[in-house]
Chain A
Amino acid sequence: MNVPWLTVVLLLPLAAAALLQVIPRTAVTLLKALTVTATAAAAAIVWTLVATMGGSPHSAGPLSFHYSEIHQWIPVIGATYHVGLDGISAWILALNAGVFVLGAILVSRRSTDRLKLFCGLLLLTETMTAGVLLSVDLLLFYLFWEGMLIPLYFLLANYGNENRGRATVKFIVYTVAGSLLMLVSILSLFFAHGVASGNLSFDLTQLLGGGLSKQPLVIPWVNITTFTPEQWAFLGFAAAFAIKIPLVPFHTWLPDLYESAPVAVLVFFAGLVSKLGAYSFIRFALTLFPDAVNTFKWVLAALAVVSIIYGALMALSQRDIKRIVAYSSLSHLGFIALGIFTLNVNGINGAVIQIVNHGIIIAALFIIVDIIEQRTGTRDRHELAGLERRMPWLYAFFLVATLAGLGMPGMNSFAGEFSIMLGAFQLHPAYAVLAGLGVVLACWYMLRLHQGVMHDPPQPRTEAVGDIRPAQGLVLLPLVGLMVFLGVFPGPVGDVTQLSVKQTTALAHGYASTAGPNFSGLGPVSPGGQP
Chain B
Amino acid sequence: MTVLGVLPVLAPPPGIDILGLLPEVILAGGFIVLMMLDLVTAPAQRGWLAVVSVVAVAGAFGATVWCWFDAATPRTVYFGAFAYDRFGLFINAIILVSTALVLMITPQYLNRRGLHYGEYYALILGAATGMMLLAGAGSLMVIFLAIELLSIALYILSGFNRTEPRSQEAAMKYLLLGGFASGFLLFGMALIYGETGHTQLTLIAAAITNGGGTVDPLLMAGIALLFVGLAFKISAAPFHTWTPDVYQGAPTSVTTFMSVTTKVAAFAALIRVFSYTFGEPLIYDRWKIIVYFVAIASMVVGNVAALRQTSLKRVLGYSGIAQGGYILIGVVVLTPAATWGSLYYLASYAVANIGAFAVITVMANRGEDLDSYASLRGLAFRRPYVAAAMGLFLLSLGGFPPTAGFFAKFFVFAAAIGAHELPLALWGIGTSAVSVFYYLRVGLLMYTRPQPDEPSYNWSRTSLSGGGVLALTAAGTLVMGIFVTLVLNIAVSAQNGIVLHG
A73 surroundings in chain B (CB, below 8 A)? 484-485
Asked if A146 is at the interface of the complex by the 8 Å CB criterion, the answer is: yes
A77 surroundings in chain B (CB, below 8 A)? 414
Question: Contact between A184 and B437 (Cβ–Cβ < 8 Å)?
Answer: no
Question: Contact between A153 and B440 (Cβ–Cβ < 8 Å)?
Answer: yes
Asked if B282 is at the interface of the complex by the 8 Å CB criterion, the answer is: no
Interface digits, A33-55 against B, CB 8 Å rule (1 contact, 0 not)?
A: 00000000000000000000000
Interface digits, A190-223 against B, CB 8 Å rule (1 contact, 0 not)?
A: 1100100000000000000000000000000000
Contact of A173 among B422, B436, B484 (CB under 8 A): B436
Question: Contact between B447 and A147 (Cβ–Cβ < 8 Å)?
Answer: no
Question: Contact between B440 and A191 (Cβ–Cβ < 8 Å)?
Answer: no
Q: Which of A137-163 contact B (CB under 8 A)?
A: 139, 142-144, 146-147, 149-150, 153-154, 157-158
- Which residue of chain A has its CB nearest to the CB of B444? A157
How distant is B189 from chain A, measured CB to nearest CB, in Å?
36
Question: Contact between B395 and A190 (Cβ–Cβ < 8 Å)?
Answer: no
Asked if A299 is at the interface of the complex by the 8 Å CB criterion, the answer is: no
Question: Contact between A76 and B436 (Cβ–Cβ < 8 Å)?
Answer: no
Interface digits, A69-86 against B, CB 8 Å rule (1 contact, 0 not)?
A: 000011111000000000
Asked if A180 is at the interface of the complex by the 8 Å CB criterion, the answer is: yes
A147 surroundings in chain B (CB, below 8 A)? 400-402
Asked if B406 is at the interface of the complex by the 8 Å CB criterion, the answer is: yes
**Whole-angstrom CA separation of A146 from B410 in the bound complex:** 13
Question: Contact between A74 and B429 (Cβ–Cβ < 8 Å)?
Answer: no
Does more than half of chain A's interface fall in helix, strand or loop, or is it mixed? helix
B62 surroundings in chain A (CB, below 8 A)? none
How distant is B494 from chain A, measured CB to nearest CB, in Å?
13
Q: Which of B360-409 contact A (CB under 8 A)?
A: 384, 391, 395, 400-402, 406
Asked if B463 is at the interface of the complex by the 8 Å CB criterion, the answer is: no
How distant is A468 from chain B, measured CB to nearest CB, in Å?
31
Residues of A in contact (CB 8 Å), total 34
**Whole-angstrom CA separation of A194 from B391 in the bound complex:** 36
Contact of A142 among B395, B401, B443, B447 (CB under 8 A): B401
Question: Contact between A187 and B402 (Cβ–Cβ < 8 Å)?
Answer: no
- Which residue of chain A has its CB nearest to the CB of B447? A158
Question: Contact between B400 and A74 (Cβ–Cβ < 8 Å)?
Answer: no
Question: Contact between A177 and B400 (Cβ–Cβ < 8 Å)?
Answer: no
Asked if A316 is at the interface of the complex by the 8 Å CB criterion, the answer is: no
Question: Contact between B489 and A187 (Cβ–Cβ < 8 Å)?
Answer: no
Also in contact, A143 and B406, with CB within 8 A (given A181-B429, A188-B417):
yes
Question: Contact between A191 and B417 (Cβ–Cβ < 8 Å)?
Answer: yes
Contact of A183 among B402, B413, B437, B489 (CB under 8 A): B413
Asked if B418 is at the interface of the complex by the 8 Å CB criterion, the answer is: yes
Contact of B440 among A75, A139, A143, A169 (CB under 8 A): A169
B489 surroundings in chain A (CB, below 8 A)? 76
List the count of A-B residue pairs having beta carbons below 8 Å apart: 78
**Whole-angstrom CA separation of A150 from B448 in the bound complex:** 16
Also in contact, A149 and B400, with CB within 8 A (given A73-B484, A184-B429):
yes
Question: Contact between A75 and B432 (Cβ–Cβ < 8 Å)?
Answer: no
**Whole-angstrom CA separation of A25 from B485 in the bound complex:** 36
Asked if A176 is at the interface of the complex by the 8 Å CB criterion, the answer is: yes
Asked if A386 is at the interface of the complex by the 8 Å CB criterion, the answer is: no
Contact of A184 among B426, B441, B448, B484 (CB under 8 A): B426
Asked if A172 is at the interface of the complex by the 8 Å CB criterion, the answer is: yes
Also in contact, A154 and B414, with CB within 8 A (given A147-B402, A169-B440):
no
B289 surroundings in chain A (CB, below 8 A)? none
Asked if B498 is at the interface of the complex by the 8 Å CB criterion, the answer is: no
Contact of B410 among A154, A173, A176, A183 (CB under 8 A): A183
**Whole-angstrom CA separation of A471 from B417 in the bound complex:** 55
**Whole-angstrom CA separation of A143 from B440 in the bound complex:** 18
**Whole-angstrom CA separation of A448 from B34 in the bound complex:** 81
Interface digits, B196-224 against A, CB 8 Å rule (1 contact, 0 not)?
A: 00000000000000000000000000000
Question: Contact between B401 and A146 (Cβ–Cβ < 8 Å)?
Answer: yes
Interface digits, A256-280 against B, CB 8 Å rule (1 contact, 0 not)?
A: 0000000000000000000000000
Asked if A529 is at the interface of the complex by the 8 Å CB criterion, the answer is: no
**Whole-angstrom CA separation of A180 from B428 in the bound complex:** 10
Question: Contact between B444 and A165 (Cβ–Cβ < 8 Å)?
Answer: yes
How distant is B46 from chain A, measured CB to nearest CB, in Å?
36
**Whole-angstrom CA separation of A276 from B484 in the bound complex:** 26
**Whole-angstrom CA separation of A177 from B429 in the bound complex:** 8
Q: Which of B424-441 contact A (CB under 8 A)?
A: 425-426, 429-430, 432-433, 436-437, 440-441
How distant is B416 from chain A, measured CB to nearest CB, in Å?
9
Please give 17 more A-B residue pairs, beta carbons under 8 A apart, in addition to A143-B406, A184-B426, A187-B413.
Answer: A73-B485, A74-B488, A146-B401, A147-B400, A147-B401, A153-B440, A154-B447, A157-B443, A157-B444, A169-B437, A172-B436, A173-B437, A180-B430, A183-B413, A184-B429, A187-B418, A191-B414
Q: List 30 A-B contacts (CB under 8 A).
A: A74-B488, A75-B485, A76-B485, A76-B492, A77-B414, A143-B401, A143-B402, A146-B400, A147-B400, A147-B401, A149-B400, A153-B443, A154-B391, A154-B443, A154-B447, A157-B444, A169-B440, A169-B441, A169-B444, A173-B433, A176-B433, A177-B433, A180-B430, A180-B432, A183-B413, A184-B413, A187-B414, A188-B417, A191-B417, A194-B418
Q: Chain B interface (Cβ within 8 Å of chain A)?
A: 384, 391, 395, 400-402, 406, 410, 413-414, 417-418, 422, 425-426, 429-430, 432-433, 436-437, 440-441, 443-444, 447-448, 484-485, 488-489, 492
